[in-house]
Amino acid sequence: MSVFKACDIRGEYGRELDEALARRLGQAVGTRLSGKTVVVGGDVRLSTPSLKAALIEGLVATGCHVLDLGIVPTPALGFARVRLGAEGSVMVTASHNPAGHNGFKLMLGDRPPSDETLQAIAAEIEAGTFALGEGSIRPVEILPEYEASLVRRFAPGGSLRLVVDCGNGCYSGVAVRVLSRLGYAVEGLFCEPDGRFPNRSPNPALPDSLRALRGRVTASQADLGLAFDGDGDRVAFVDAHGVPAEPDRVAVLFARWLLREGPGEVIYDIKSSSVLPEAVEEAGGRAIMERSGHAFIKTTLLDRGALFGAEISGHYFFRELGGDDALFASCLLLHILQAEGRGLAELLADVPRHPITPDIRLPCPPEKADAILEDLRRAFSDYPVGQLDGTRIDFGDGWALARRSVTEALITLRFEAHSPARLDQIQALVRERVPALAAIWRS
């Protein structure tokens, strides 16, 4: 599989990507932004310093003026791009992927690149025809200003007890400093930067990743637990009972709060529970479905001027930021908890929950997966069928989604209904009408 994915560039360091690719990527991006200012940052992975140096070398060779932020969370890079007036940015990170992986997140202008643009950049790297110029490098320390902006936005006065799990990632130090300055009593967990990620996966969406945090929250009688991913643009929340909160139901709390000021649009990903769009409509907003992927949600948020966006992986997007920021989202949730005078579990008790499956991942070659998706569309032509991302069938009181993975030889299924019995019925109906899918589902 190519390292050029639908939203960014990722792969195993030393096998799928290396410094030579990083330099050529810098040249390709620099050819598009020649003579302009580009901010560059990196995560804590062991391979990041050499990859970042090679990337910068390529950018400078095309005439770009690079502002090197060093090791920063991805949201701080986004803050710096706007604050410093840069025309582009590159973050060296594999986000939530394992320690041996790395990659690059790009911004060209004020938008993430489309899938088509990423594929064009891949072709340009292969062709090797790049602009030539004399650029420059200047180190910039942005974290103090980024941290101060959050403290100003939310104002000190916090009174809750928190356990903050940085997962040895980019928010190590930063999150504890910001939340402490806001007045919260903060206990740090895995808050020493370490690109080996020795204590847990950099992906907080995995149940095992939250085991230590859940234990500390209950042992410390904390009010809330927070767990960040490797580069700091995703967050998972754990309530005072040590129970992880579903991201799409947390998104309901954000949407309700933000829609109090008036109507607006909320972007949500196709895998989210119907609870989220239903709650948005009830609060006077308009819910807009988008395909899964942080770049897709962010682009739609920006293009439509939407108020808020959410992805069930733990990305939360805000119009006032023009993007996602896990620490901003954490500060806003804490502000909501204090304003409401209730804990996270109490607030979520007012959010409905529909029975929903996790992703059901079935090994399947790409060509067979495409045929199955077409079979599914034909078999359910008597129902509303969406093709935003894969095939999604709307049953009125539930839905079925089948998608082909762009990174693995898999087909992924997900189902939701308004009752457990109906959830079983929908899954049985899909098996009955699409025998080719049923065959790999049983195996």
Residue type at position 353? R
Write the CB contacts of 195 (distance below 8 Å, at least 6 apart in sequence): 43, 44, 45, 46, 47, 48, 99, 168
How far apart CA 395 and CA 205 sit, in angstroms, is: 28
From the candidates 10, 200, 234, 294, give the one annotated as an active-site residue.
Answer: 10
Catalytic (active site) residue 95? yes
How far apart CA 224 and CA 217 sit, in angstroms, is: 7
From the candidates 45, 315, 354, 403, give the one annotated as an active-site residue.
Answer: 315
From the candidates 32, 47, 65, 95, give the one annotated as an active-site residue.
Answer: 95
How far apart CA 160 and CA 223 sit, in angstroms, is: 6
CA angle 94, 99, 101 (to 5 degrees): 45
Residue 126 near residue 107 (C-beta atoms within 8 A): no
CA angle 31, 138, 65 (to 5 degrees): 20
How far apart CA 284 and CA 256 sit, in angstroms, is: 9
Task: Using alpha carbons, select from 26, 41, 33, 22 the residue that is nearest to residue 233.
Answer: 41
The values of phi and psi at residue 137, to 5°, are -130, 135
The pair of three-digit structure tokens given for residue 160, joined into one six-digit string: 């809750």
Angle between helices 19-32 and 115-127 (to 10 degrees): 110
Residue 374 near residue 336 (C-beta atoms within 8 A): no
DSSP 4: B
Number of residues written out for the chain = 443
Compute the CA torsion angle 152, 154, 160, 163 (nearest 10 deg): -80
- The strand pairing partners of 229, in sequence order, are none
3-state secondary structure 337-399: HHHHCCCHHHHHCCCCCCCECCCEEEECCHHHHHHHHHHHHHHCCCCCEECCCCEEEECCCEE
Write the CB contacts of 73 (distance below 8 Å, at least 6 apart in sequence): 169, 170, 171, 174, 228, 231, 232, 233, 326, 327
Is the CA virtual torsion 135, 141, 145, 151 positive or negative?
A: positive
Catalytic (active site) residue 177? no
Compute the CA torsion angle 319, 320, 321, 323 (nearest 10 deg): 0
Which residues participate in catalysis according to the annotation? 10, 95, 315
